[in-house]
Amino acid sequence: MTAIEKVKRAIDVAIKLDRYRAKELRNKIGSIGGLHQLVELERILEEQFGDRVSALVSARLIRFAFLIEPVNSDITSTKYSARWSSRMNPDDPRKADFDACVAMLNEACRKISNRVPKPALAAILGLLPDWGISPHEFPVDYLDKQQRPIHHPTNIVVLEDPSYLRLLKLRHVLLGENSDEYANVFSAI
């Protein structure tokens, strides 16, 4: 079995667990190897930001590239699925085969690697450890949300918008560990 096949198998196993654990899947995929663009991005991020940011970026990119969180049939909860899962409707524009997901990961890694030296993205990534609110919040998105299929390497944008950075800084002030008594009020919202 090749390293890439082992990565696919690790993802398939991870989504069958009762609860998805991003850190565990990231560590498992890291121990397998085979995703060279991700390894290179982690190296770049570790040099500039340290292990914590590198691990968080890696875990969120794995989630973005390979996983989706559809609502269950009775619309009461969600559970992660692989984008290639038979659970996905064949007409769902978010569905993608494993190879397309690897291409998405590689392109997202390439785009982030090329932008890390830029101040806007560096500031955003530096705030990443404070984001604990949602694993979905990440500065990588689809360029055109109407594109079909949407999950395609040509359809990735890295958000470096000043208003996005301002939002993250504001959250840090309002919800950060060192903020005042208002942090409890805002964290409950």
What's the pTM? Answer: 0.84
Which has more pLDDT, 144 or 166?
Answer: 144
Residue 81 sits at φ, ψ, to 5 deg, of -135, 155
Cα–Cα distance, 165 to 168 (Å, whole number)? 5
Q: Give me the residue spans of the domains in the chain.
A: 3-187
H helices present in 15-71, as ranges: 22-32, 36-49, 51-66
pLDDT tens digits for 52-79?
889 989 999 999 999 988 776 666 667 7
